[in-house]
């Protein structure tokens, strides 16, 4: 996976995961068994993307040898954080936590996936330098 051709496919799959997850997260007010299955599926897909990200040639993104690597590292950290939040949400549901906890779990997952989306956008966008 060291060629530039793998990045577009990886980014498309990340985008599809974020769109799918965002769609159902916005439509639920509390977690059900079906939602937990969807969350666990999203987690499996995130873990696969993290594994593949580690194999991709990080020097393909951008011409600055330091900036893109840092942004890729930030994206990987955001993906790993999203997996941790999903683990926590699923654990809360299996313990039959209160609905408030489930709602906060949904918010936590949504926020973590939003951070992944933000980091992916930063990876692909120009670097802004403050004056």
Neighbours of 80 (CB within 10 A): 15
Q: Where are the domains of the chain?
A: 6-124
Confidence (pLDDT) at 117: 92
The percentage of residues in the chain with a pLDDT greater than 70, rounded to a whole number, is: 78
Q: For the whole model, what pTM was predicted?
A: 0.80
C-alpha–C-alpha distance, residues 60 and 5, integer Å = 10
Quick one: the chain helix, strand, coil %, rounded to 5?
Answer: 75, 0, 25
Which residues make Cβ contacts (< 8 Å) with residue 62, sequence separation at least 6? 68, 127
Each residue's pLDDT tens digit, 119-130: 998 887 765 544
CA 81 to chain CA centroid, Å, is: 8
């Amino acid at each position: 996976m060291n060629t530039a051709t793998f990045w577009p496919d990886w980014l498309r799959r990340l985008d599809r995961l974020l769109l799918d997850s965002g769609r159902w997260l916005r439509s639920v007010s509390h977690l059900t068994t079906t939602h937990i299955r969807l969350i666990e599926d999203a987690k499996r897909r995130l873990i696969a993307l993290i594994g593949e990200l580690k194999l991709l040639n990080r020097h393909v993104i951008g011409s600055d040898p330091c900036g893109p690597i840092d942004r890729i590292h930030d994206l990987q950290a955001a993906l790993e954080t999203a997996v941790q939040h999903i683990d926590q949400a699923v654990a809360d549901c299996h313990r039959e936590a209160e609905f408030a906890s489930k709602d906060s779990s949904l918010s936590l997952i949504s926020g973590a996936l939003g951070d992944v989306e933000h980091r992916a956008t930063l990876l692909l966008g120009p670097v802004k330098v403050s004056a």
